[in-house]
Amino acid sequence: MRFGILGSGSWGTALVKILTDSNHTVNWWIRNKGIIDHLRKKNHNPQYLSSVYFDINHLNLTNDLEKLIRDSDCIVIAIPSAYIEQIFQQLPQEIFEDKIILSAVKGILPEKNLLLNDFLSQQFQFGIDRYFTVMGPCHAEEIAAEKLSYLTFSGNSVTKAQEIASNFSTDYLNTITNNDIYGVQYAAVLKNIYALGAGMAHGLEYGDNFLSVFIANCADEMAGFLLKAGISHIEVGIHEMAMTVDDKKSANYAASVYLGDLLVTCYSLFSRNRMFGSMIGKGYSVNAAKLELNMVAEGYNASKCLYRLNQHFKADMPISDTIYKILWQNVNVREGFKRIELLLV
């Protein structure tokens, strides 16, 4: 299978590392020609995960998006959700025919308020049976350091998801598969929003006790939204069949991709959403935090998108709503968290 990676940020770079470590030659689309030139001369990305060095013989580097797509079988999209519509707008309608798409996007496309698969269906008539996702819990920085990490692959066909996942096999990576395309994407959106809140709490100097109760309530709120959205695979602790003590339990991916990804994004110092939220908690304006971070915090746009989506689903989401109002409606962060204090149970 010929893989094409779209995006040269930290997550795109990490995915290229995984595939090249698995002895794949990767087609890599990078918009900035200067980064391409640097990679060819110095063998590493100068902007993200610069400690990772590549065998240039395993990379086909290009800034020609259409050519990369045509030369690849599986297109791995690792572009921030806010940029996808603009980047894809000039592509011909038939470009994704007979392709597999593997989404590493953890956000909602803000202009149309759509998950990536729904956008591709509308704009390119792309069928969901050829759409797969790769989610966490995983940080690019730990992939760079080759610390044991986990990736969750989702698709309508679990067999096909397992086939795709097998290409990402390394000593430092374990994979989980399921058929929960919508659930894992919504969970990825929500965990970024809640990580903003965890960062705000840190910036406001709340302690570990508060944060533990805050995250537990976020997990409960996430489960309530997923149920309203028609997702049924959210039970942690329930397995398909009983196993003996000596056997491994049947897989319950909800523990990893829902709860695990929420925890790591809220707690980890690598989390850009947590960092962004911490700046807001310390008194930065949204614009100042954007400039300081110099990376995309997916939870920022996601908070607005999710607020709009929930007008349809009508889930009870006071934590997410408060984070949205702090970021988009000028609610004072300290006052917002005083409201959240009264909500936690």
Q: In what order do the strands lie in the sheet with 173-178?
A: 59-62, 26-29, 3-6, 74-77, 100-103, 131-135, 149-155, 173-178
State the CATH number of the domain containing residue 59: 3.40.50.720
Quote the CA–CA distance of 17 and 35 in Å, as a whole number.
16
Closest CA relative to residue 206, chosen from 339, 342, 317, 337: 337
Give the amino acid at 281.
Answer: G
Considering only CA atoms, give the Rg of the chain. 20
Q: Read off the pLDDT of residues 260-274 as tens digits, 9 standing for 90 and up.
A: 899 999 999 899 999
- Domain limit, last residue, from 179, 203, 238: 179
Question: How far is CA 81 from each of CA 169, 302, 340, rounded to the nearest angstrom?
Answer: 26, 9, 28
Beta strand pairing status for 26-29 and 149-155? unpaired
Q: Are residues 254 and 212 in the same domain?
A: yes
Instruction: For residues 231 and 333, state if they share a domain.
Output: yes
Considering its fold, how many domains does the chain have in total?
2
In whole angstroms, give the CA distance from residue 103 to residue 100: 10
From 144, 160, 179, give the residue that closes a domain: 179
For 35-51, the pLDDT digits (tens) are 999 999 999 999 999 99
CATH code, 224: 1.10.1040.10
Q: What are the DSSP calls for 122-161, one per residue?
A: HHH---GGGEEEEE-S--HHHHHTT--EEEEEEES-HHHH
Could you tell me the pLDDT band of residue 240, with boundaries at 50, 70 and 90? low
Residue span of the structural domain in which 156 resides: 3-179
Element (H, E) at 14: helix 10-21
The whole-angstrom separation of Cα 254 and Cα 270 is: 22
Would the pLDDT of 243 be above 60? no
**Judgement on whether residues 270 and 327 belong to the same structural domain of the protein:** yes
pLDDT band per the 50, 70, 90 thresholds, residue 234: low
pLDDT at 294 over 90: no
Residue owning tokens 């965890």: 198
- Looking at 160, 179, 198, the residue that finishes a domain is 179
Q: Residue 200 and residue 289: Cα distance in Å, rounded?
A: 12
- My answer on whether 174 and 190 are in the same domain is no
Residue 318 sits at φ, ψ, to 5 deg, of -65, -30
Paired residues of 175 in beta bridges: 151
Q: Are 125 and 206 members of one domain? A: no
- The model's pTM: 0.92
57-116 pLDDT, tens digit per residue, is 999 999 999 999 999 999 999 999 999 999 999 899 999 999 999 999 999 999 999 999
Distance CA 84, CA 114 (A): 11
Question: Which residue in this structure is represented by tokens 């058929």?
Answer: 179
Same domain for 123 and 271: no
Residues 144 and 232 in one domain: no
Question: Buried (b) or exposed (e) across 171-189, using 16+ Cβ within 10 A?
Answer: eebebbbbbbbbbbbbbbb
134 and 278 both lie in a single domain: no
Same domain, 95 and 218: no
What is the pLDDT averaged over residues 148-154? 94
- Quote the pLDDT of residue 329: 97
Instruction: Give the CA count within 13 Å in the CB-facing half-sphere of 92.
Output: 7
What pLDDT does 155 receive? 96
Residues 54, 100 share a domain: yes
Residues 249 and 335 in one domain: yes
Same structural domain, 90 and 171: yes
CB 49 within 8 A of CB 10: yes
Tokens for 271, please give them: 């989390």
pLDDT surpassing 60 at residue 298: yes
